[in-house]
Chains A and B, each alone.
Chain A
Amino acid sequence: QKEVEQNSGPLSVPEGAIASLNCTYSDRGSQSFFWYRQYSGKSPELIMSIYSNGDKEDGRFTAQLNKASQYVSLLIRDSQPSDSATYLCAVNRGNQFYFGTGTSLTVIP
């Protein structure tokens, strides 16, 4: 079983819609949770981190964490074409990062 699982997509949403990205993790000992954005041919860029149950909002991005269900999600409101990228979910457990394989998001103008 992989440490972090994501739906690889591709996920397509129209411009202005809400994009919902989901991630599950296998180990309850995971302590910290992250979302990275990776444009094609570029390196991952940290966009959100969340450490406790509930929602965390930052601009158009909202991260949601449910430790009981071992589930992390990222909502992107008012999606823009510039949001088109691969989104990587990562967890930090035992001071080591584990990444999902990413979900490809395309925002259609």
Chain B
Amino acid sequence: KAGVTQTPRYLIKTRGQQVTLSCSPISGHRSVSWYQQTPGQGLQFLFEYFSETQRNKGNFPGRFSGRQFSNSRSEMNVSTLELGDSALYLCASSLEAQANTIYFGEGSWLTVV
């Protein structure tokens, strides 16, 4: 079956702009979580959605937001981009909320210039 699909795969934005990333989970999976990966900080948890509700949130500023649709697809948005937001943004899906096994998508590489 198809894995977790993230779009776009690569993008370049300018400081101050905003960006929206999309994630389609594995068919049948209802939970989607988002992570930011940078060389210095590693993988850091952004938030988790289940049944269109945010269940958990990491320690990121309010510029980072997300949502989940009724078909379990999810989007995350970053407003007023900063250079430090350059990172690989990974989406992971699981069958249920707060599950032990999560499956990652290929990620969206964001570069802020």
Binding site for B on A (CB under 8 A): 32, 42-46, 49, 88, 90, 92, 95-102
A43 touches B42 (CB 8 A): no
| Residues in A neighbouring B58, C-beta threshold 8 A | 96
Question: Given A44-B90, A45-B104, A98–B45 Cβ distance below 8 Å?
Answer: yes
Stretch in contact with the other chain, from B13-21, B63-71, B75-83, B94-102: B94-102
A-B contact pairs, 16 of them (CB 8 A): A32-B100, A43-B104, A43-B106, A46-B101, A49-B101, A88-B42, A88-B43, A95-B98, A96-B48, A97-B33, A97-B45, A98-B45, A99-B42, A99-B44, A101-B40, A102-B42
Q: Give the nearest-CB partner of B43 in chain A.
A: A99
Question: Given A43-B90, A95-B56, A95-B98, A101–B104 Cβ distance below 8 Å?
Answer: no
**In whole angstroms, what is the CA distance A98 to B46 when docked?**
11
A-B interface pairs (CB < 8 A), number: 41
Is B25 at the interface (CB under 8 A from chain A)? no
Q: How far is the CB of B111 from chain A (nearest CB, A)?
A: 14
Q: How far is the CB of A34 from chain B (nearest CB, A)?
A: 8
B103 touches A46 (CB 8 A): yes
Q: Give the nearest-CB partner of B44 in chain A.
A: A99
